[in-house]
Amino acid sequence: MNLSSNRVLVTGADGFIGSHLTEMLVKQGASVRALCQYNSFNSWGWLEGSSCIDAVEVVTGDIRDPNFVESITKNVDTIFHLAALIAIPYSYVAPDSYVQTNICGTLNVVQSALKNNVKRVIHTSTSEVYGSAQYVPINELHPLQPQSPYSASKIAADAMALSFYHSFELPVVVARPFNTYGPRQSARAVIPTIISQVLAGQKTLKLGNLSPTRDFNYVENTCAGMLALAGCNEAIGQSFNIGSGAEISIGSLASLIGELIGSDIEIIEDGQRNRPRGSEVERLVCDSSKLLQMTGFSPKVDLRQGLQKTIDWFSVPENLKRYKAGIYNV
In this structure, which CATH number among 3.40.140.10, 3.30.540.10, 3.40.50.2300, 3.90.25.10 belongs to the domain 182-214+246-288+301-320? 3.90.25.10
Cα 319–chain centre separation = 20
* pLDDT at residue number 329: 61
Q: Which has the higher per-residue pLDDT, 250 or 177?
A: 177
Whole-number mean pLDDT of the chain?
A: 93
Structure confidence at residue 275 as a pLDDT band (50, 70, 90): low
Work out the percent of the chain whose per-residue pLDDT is above 90.
81
Give the residue from 104, 84, 113 showing the smallest Cα distance to 172: 113
DSSP state of 274: S
Cα radius of gyration rounded to whole Å, the chain: 19
Would you kindly state where each structural domain of the chain is located, as residue ranges?
3-180+218-242, 182-214+246-288+301-320
Q: Which fold has domain 3-180+218-242?
A: Rossmann fold (3.40.50)
Give SS3 for 319. Answer: helix
